[in-house]
Each structure stands twice: as C-alpha cells, then as structure tokens.
Amino acid sequence: DTGVSQDPRHKITKRGQNVTFRCDPISEHNRLYWYRQTLGQGPEFLTYFQNEAQLEKSRLLSDRFSAERPKGSFSTLEIQRTEQGDSAMYLCASSLLAGSYEQYFGPGTRLTVT
C-alpha cells in the first residue's frame, strides 16, 4: 500500500507527558500537512511543509507543538507537556507540489490525554 501512513494509530498518555507522532507521506508528494480533528468537528489546519521547509503554522499550534520534516520525507509532530485539551485525532495529509490540489489523508493518530 503506497498511501499515507501514520504511527501510532492510538496513543494514551498522562497529562504532562510528551508524545511524538510520525507520518509517512506518499513518496512523490512534496507537500505534507498536519490537521487536528476533535469530535463532531472538521479537521483544523495545524501546519504544512513543502519538502523540508515548514511554510505555515496555525495559531492553534502553541509553543508546546513542534513539527519537523527532515530531508523532506517523513514528518514528526511532537506535543510537549500534554494537556487534556490536546485529546483529538491528529491527521496527516500529503499532496503533489503542482497541479492537483487534492490531499491524501492518512488514517490518523488518536490521542487521549488522561
């Protein structure tokens, strides 16, 4: 399967702990996006990369959140000092640089902060 993959699929952590999620995009896709989705809502944009450059960060992304995409391949999203309000589904998507604007989503990582 050459789709977008995310790891882990589920993460339960205690408040105050750090967590890191990984996303592997479709190999030829230059753009990679992170979204957060809470129950009953649509995905909300967090940040996106073009190759290894992080081009935009949402104001939703507090300084406890950091994302990287070394070498323009996989990406990681780290949340430090997790809070209960961080509980959500974290979705990764990728797309081609030019042409199609369609985004391909991974299955998501569901984070529960207890």
Partner 1 sequence: SQQGEEDPQALSIQEGENATMNCSYKTSINNLQWYRQNSGRGLVHLILIRSNEREKHSGRLRVTLDTSKKSSSLLITASRAADTASYFCATYTGANSKLTFGKGITLSVRP
CB of 75 closer than 8 Å to CB of 67 = yes
Distance CA 54, CA 51 (A): 8
Identified binder of partner 1 from the candidate list 1, 27, 28, 40, rule CB under 8 A: 40
Q: Which is nearer to partner 1, 10 or 81 (CB)?
A: 10
Q: Does 65 bind partner 1 (CB under 8 A)?
A: no
SS3 state of residue 100: coil
Distance CA 48, CA 11 (A): 22
Q: Which is nearer to partner 1, 20 or 104 (CB)?
A: 104
Binding part of the chain for partner 1, among 17-25, 63-71, 72-80, 85-93 by CB under 8 A, reads 85-93
Q: Does 72 bind partner 1 (CB under 8 A)?
A: no
Considering only CA atoms, which of 69, 73, 75, 70 is closest in space to residue 90? 75
Binding site for partner 1 (CB under 8 A): 4, 31, 33, 35, 40-45, 48, 50, 55-56, 89, 91, 93, 95, 100-108, 110
